[in-house]
Structure 1
Amino acid sequence: MPTRHPGNEFDAIVVGGSYAGLSAALQLARARRRVLVIDAGQRRNRYASHSHGFLTQDGSEGSAIAAAGRAQLLAYPSVTWRDGTAVAAAASEGGFHLTLDNGQLLQARRLVLATGVVDELPQLEGLAERWGRSVFSCPYCDGYELDQGSIGVLATGPLSIHQALMLPDWGTTTLFLNGAFEPDEEQLASLVQRGVTIERTPVARMAGKADVVLSDGRIQSMAGLFVMSRTHAANPLAEQLGCAFDEGMTGMFIRTDIQKASTVAGVYCCGDAARMAPGVAHAVADGVMAGVAAHRSLIFGAVAAA
């Protein structure tokens, strides 16, 4: 049984200090609860220079939004911030204990996991270097800035048809199949109806800003390229605690109910690790719900998602 240290005991610990975690912690702080935020400093959108689609912050730097959120949160006296990584979590008497990468042990009555995800990109020369700059995943986040130019979709599997059918609203679209799948007749008809060009020649590499170099030497210059990455949780805490996961379009996501409760009573999950839709606005809204639900559970008791 771990030794208890009152200075390391909190009403709630929020793991992850990006948009969802900041938003969750803010609700708890405004309820005058003692909150600790643990942050590893790995925002998912750190590769992108600007954030879009978030009301009042459209076009702001993602880092600036996060920094302002942190400053506003730390103005509340009941909030503590620690830079680091939570490496282990388990249920304990009256709540949970967490272990940090420096060996420090922490206690909390509730946990909010806003740990985010890691993007797994196709192994294509030049792709990773352009991620967040001219290679994107979310058209709502980055499509408008391409100014109706030529847009590419790099297929990673059958689900890439979804991106290809959406993107003509943002520009002339080419679907690079790259051997990932072959559309059926119904899909082909839908692509034609949406004006999507299909390119079956394999992609060799990327060059320039967003130039797609094909295996036959042809180069198709794009304003931007979209790809549906695979994702996995950036931190193993949810799995360690026994939270259930569901298969989403891009990978496994922590199962939660409408109030962001996981299948483990007292553990709330929000942000990209617990939803399929990315984006700052989604993350902030998710965090609000998780923080409010965690606070209410401190009053009325914790329940687990079905």
Structure 2
Amino acid sequence: MNDVIIIGGSFAGLAAALQLGRARRKVTVLDTGLPRNRFADHSHGLLGHDHKPPLEILAEARQQLARYPTVRLVNARAESISGAIDDFSVLTGDGESLKARRLILSYGVADQMPDVPGFAESWGSSIVPCPYCDGFEVAGRHWGLVWSGPQSHTYVRLYHDWTDTLTVLANGHEIPPDIRADLARRGIPVVDGRVTEIAQHEDRSATVKLDTGPNIAVDIVFAHPRNKPSARLHESLGLATVDTPLGIALKVDERRETSMPGVYAAGDLANPLMASVTLAISHGATAGISAQQSMLV
């Protein structure tokens, strides 16, 4: 029997595996090889790895885990999970049945691309969601923000640290008069109409086409499509969730334990505040240590 099965082998899952491996706990990591940030050319803001391709960082992490004989990395999808603390069962897509005393769920979320030509193709290059991840590289240039709801007003204030040139694309949303007045006070134009196409260019700039009015040329587009968990395994265990403006996240305590004893969660799947590689690694390490300490006798 495994001490811990980790479902999802990106930054959070591998960080958990590292802590458990160093504690000589028997661990199996199940991973499909499809991390959320695989569309990004570089990962930014990660101490010691700034501006490195995320897939390169993950590959290096897997090589480092080879030092730990109790850690097993398996390229497989978890199809189902069941059981309770000290007796969890996981069935993989390859038909392997695994047992574990604890589970760590770190299978992340999948961004739901809108049905707009060019949007999915531009994701991670001309269209990005996070200024902390990509803002420095396009600082001082013309940004476009696709409005997604009340939270977008916060983004407007946040982006001011990177650029003074911002255009809001309402994309069919009703922006309240008081918020429009605040945007006008800040000198931020609002372009009404729905986005019908994104045409990206080689330098990461983009032309945004609308169903009304002229096209809008910007140097980068910031957008926040809704997301959903990359798997539904948490549903079979009845784990508690929290609602966020962009989707749902698993509810965890300060030790990263979910509403079911013995089940922990880390990474974007359990972070309702901000997607970040740094936070994913921190939360993954916390989940791994917490799972290990929960098994002490």
Question: TM over 0.5: same fold?
Answer: yes
1:15 aligns with 2:7: yes
Q: 1:144-223 maps to which residues of 2 (within 5 A)?
A: 144-171=136-163, 172-185=165-178, 187-209=179-201, 210-216=206-212, 218-223=214-219
Give the alignment's TM-score, normalised by structure 2.
Answer: 0.94
User: What residue in structure 1 maps to residue 270 of structure 2?
Assistant: 274
Aligned-partner residue type, residue 86 of structure 1:
A
Instruction: Map residues 28-47 of structure 1 onto 2, 5 A cutoff.
Output: 28-47=20-39
Post-superposition Cα deviations, 1:130-179, rounded to whole Å, max 9, x if no partner, equal 00011011111011111321100112233222223322322211110011
Alignment of 1:208-287 (within 5 A): 208-209=200-201, 210-216=206-212, 218-276=214-272, 277-287=274-284
Quote the offset at 1:201 in angstroms. Answer: 3.2
Q: Which amino acid aligns with 1:117?
A: V
Correspondence for 1:135: 127
For the residues of structure 1 that align with 2:148 and 2:117, how far apart are their CA atoms? 15
Moved more, 118-127 or 26-35: 118-127
Deviations 1:276-305 (A, max 9, x none): 2101111101101101100011116xxxxx
- The equivalent residue for 1:297 is 294
Where structure 2 has 5 or more consecutive residues not aligned to the other structure, the ranges are none
- Unpaired segments of 5 or more residues in structure 1? 1-8, 301-306
Runs of 4+, deviation exceeding 4 Å: none
* 1:203-249 alpha-carbon deviations (Å, 9 max, x no partner): 22111321112234622211110111111110111111121111012
Shifted more, 81-90 versus 204-213: the winner is 204-213
Q: Report percent identity of matched pairs.
A: 37
Amino acid at match of 1:248: T
State how many pairs are aligned: 291
Q: Quote how far apart the aligned CAs of 1:114 are.
A: 0.5
Alignment of 1:94-113 (within 5 A): 94-113=86-105
Shift of 1:94: 2.8
After superposition, give the CA deviation of every residue in 1:12-70 in whole Å (9 maximum; x if it has no partner).
01111100000011111111101111101110000011000111111011011111111
Q: Is the 8 A contact 2:107 2:269 kept in 1?
A: yes
- 5 Å-filtered alignment, 1:57-76, equals 57-76=49-68
Contact 2:89–2:100 at 8 Å: present in 1 too? yes
Q: How many angstroms apart in 2 are the aligned matches of 1:36 and 1:226? A: 37
Query: Counterparts of 1:174 and 1:119 in 2: how far apart (Å)?
Result: 23
1:27 pairs with one of 19, 30, 42: 19
How far 1:74 sits from its partner (Å)?
A: 2.0
